[in-house]
Chains A and B, each alone.
Chain A
Amino acid sequence: SQELEQSPQSLIVQEGKNLTINCTSSKTLYGLYWYKQKYGEGLIFLMMLQKGGEEKSHEKITAKLDEKKQQSSLHITASQPSHAGIYLCGADISGNQFYFGTGTSLTVIP
């Protein structure tokens, strides 16, 4: 969707390295969601952020939403091969239309 810009499009990292994925909108986000998708499978919910400045962590993954609620980042610490997949941000931007970014393909090299 053009409503959500996600970067980078793809990422190849060595196991153990940290990485960050960004998601940006020109509009205020009514809830920002991060999903992970393993190749050829459905989407798995990771985290939801609603408040400006909010930060959540689960295991080695941390997501933040900026104060203006227009940008979010997903940070993975000490990446592992199990982190590989496609990461998508999603948000309710207008009414109940839920949009997604174009996704970031993550490869972790052992």
Chain B
Amino acid sequence: DAGITQSPRHKVTETGTPVTLRCHQTENHRYMYWYRQDPGHGLRLIHYSYGVKDTDKGEVSDGYSVSRSKTEDFLLTLESATSSQTSVYFCAISGAERGSGELFFGEGSRLTVL
């Protein structure tokens, strides 16, 4: 199994509070991704990173920011959480260029915004 851990695994918070989810990998992989999974929408890409300090937006990036100050950690921040951000968040990593390798997924972080 790929060494990828997410924290926290479960969080309940209130609207308007900041939230940070952490993805930590021990594989030294270059690419890291944050997805959210919602019924009827499958997995949607929020942000991704292709190296330290190199990040870019995915298809549903509004309301989210990310940071990657070292290879092993990719942080997802909700500056001011809203109820629409209640979801299950998955981190994924890949060591391969352009579609040539699989993504390895963390176990997910379930976030509830009241």
Contact = CB atoms under 8 A, between A and B. Distances in A.
Given A42-B107, A43-B90, A96-B48, A6 B102 contact: no
A48 B102 contact: yes
Given A42-B108, A43-B105, A97-B58, A88 B43 contact: yes
Interface string A49-86: 01000000000000000000000000000000000000
A99 B59 contact: yes
Contacts of B41: 102
Contacts of A15: none
A96 B98 contact: yes
Given A91-B99, A92-B98, A97-B58, A1 B42 contact: yes
A66 to B, nearest CB: 16
Contacts of B84: none
Interface in B50-69: 50, 56, 58-59
B108 A98 contact: no
Nearest to B57: A97
A6 B42 contact: yes
A103 B100 contact: no
A15 to B, nearest CB: 26
5 contacts: A30-B98, A33-B103, A42-B106, A98-B33, A98-B103
Given A45-B103, A45-B104, 7 more contacts: A1-B42, A1-B45, A31-B100, A50-B100, A96-B97, A101-B42, A102-B40
